[in-house]
Amino acid sequence: MSSSSTRLIKSVALAGAGNLGASFPEHLLAEGFETTVLTRAGSNKSFPAGVKIKEVDYTSASSLESALEGIDAVIATLTAYDSQTELIKAAGKAGVKLFVPSEFGNVTTSLKEDAHPALAGKGVAHGQLKEAGLPAVLVFAGPFPETTFGVPSFGANFAENKMTIFGKGETPISWTTRREIARFTAHHLATLTSLPAVGEPTILRLEGSSASFLDVVAIYKRLHPTRELDVQHVPLEHLEKAAKDVEGGFLESLVAYLLLSWEQGYGKTDEAGKHELSKWDEWKPQSLEEVLKELTADL
């Protein structure tokens, strides 16, 4: 950990402390950052000792600008992209040095025109950051294994010994846990010696494990050799139709879009070997097998 008195980034504000964001305060504090969490009115979430809490109204520019006064970097883990838009504008006006937008999943620098609105919103943010004059860091880490395999929506229902695979299930995917994403991001901010140019964001490509859905089946069978796992394959056409039905069910269409994108190769953060993964000698990420072992320990 670098000396907090000499580092470029000393204070960090976290916007969004839910599914992913809850993992950040611990690691930001561990890196010596002055850590502030922006919360909405009425929030009753608790945070580690040392975290400053500022209540904000994402529809009020003055509220956001006031909360960001004196803040060096903002990390957003917001799912509401209209809120992130206002946050970006306020960060630019408040003199924030660096912005880490709500990415942390699939690579979004080359989205297709028919991308799901949830991911299209991430791509739009790139232009908004440039317009606001904000240097940025984009963190691509693939899906979170602990949530993907913790709910049946993505095909794994280990409690009932069932696994649904869409397509062949042979495509490698990058898997990185939320905790590891937060730890790597905090380390990166702590060791920055210069800011990226506006419009040319630094890209972190993280990967805890690389595995296809068939690899997941093999890992599960290795962990539970006496259990019979019923594996069913569903044609990708099923996903293609569901992914486009945004009005019929936003969340369901997003799950379908993500499953389809992963099987098509868009879940690899190094983009199928086109780029190098980000390195840090002290980052020893939890493996997919370790995650699955924890998730299925009580079976």
Q: What is the 3-state secondary structure (H, E, C) of the chain?
A: CCCCCCCCCCEEEEECCCCCHHHHHHHHHHCCCEEEEEECCCCCCCCCCCCEEEECCCCCHHHHHHHCCCCCEEEECCCCHHHHHHHHHHHHHHCCCEEECCCCCCCCCCCCCCCCHHHHHHHHHHHHHHHCCCCEEEEECCCCHHHHCCCHHHCEEHHHCEEEEECCCCCCEEECCHHHHHHHHHHHHHCCCCCCCCCCCEEEECCCEEECHHHHHHHHHHHCCCCCCEEEEECHHHHHHHHHCCCCCHHHHHHHHHHHHHHCCCCCCCCCCCCCCCCCCCCCCCCHHHHHHHHCCCC
Please state the length of the chain: 299
Backbone φ, ψ for residue 64 (5° rounding): -70, -45
Q: What is the pLDDT of residue 2?
A: 53
CA–CA distance from 137 to each of 2, 120, 202 (Å)?
A: 19, 18, 5
CB 94 within 8 A of CB 68: yes
pTM: 0.95
Which among 129, 283, 148 is positioned nearest to 206, based on CA atoms? 283
The 10 Å Cβ neighbour count of residue 126 is 18
User: Tens-digit pLDDT profile for the chain (299 aa)?
Assistant: 555 668 999 999 999 988 899 999 999 999 999 999 999 887 878 899 999 999 999 999 999 999 999 999 999 999 888 999 999 999 999 999 999 999 999 999 988 888 999 999 899 999 999 999 999 999 999 999 999 999 999 999 999 999 999 999 999 999 999 999 999 999 999 999 999 999 999 999 999 999 999 999 999 999 999 999 999 999 999 999 999 999 999 999 999 999 999 999 999 999 999 999 999 999 999 999 999 999 999 98
Q: What is the pLDDT of residue 44?
A: 79
Q: What is the pLDDT of residue 110?
A: 85
Tell which phi-psi region holds residue 199, choosing left (phi > 0), alpha (psi between -120 and 50) or beta. Answer: left
As a whole number of angstroms, the distance between CA 280 and CA 282 comes to 6
Q: What is the pLDDT of residue 172?
A: 98
Q: What is the pLDDT of residue 167?
A: 95
Domains of the chain: 11-142+176-205 (3.40.50.720), 145-175+208-266+281-295 (3.90.25.10)
CB 78 within 8 A of CB 102: yes
Which among 145, 161, 170, 174 is positioned nearest to 291, based on CA atoms? 145
Six-digit token pair at 12? 């960090």
236-244 and 250-263 helices, crossing angle to 10°: 140
CB 12 within 8 A of CB 73: yes
Q: How far is CA 281 from the centre of its chain?
A: 21
Torsion over CA: 242, 247, 249, 251 (sign): positive
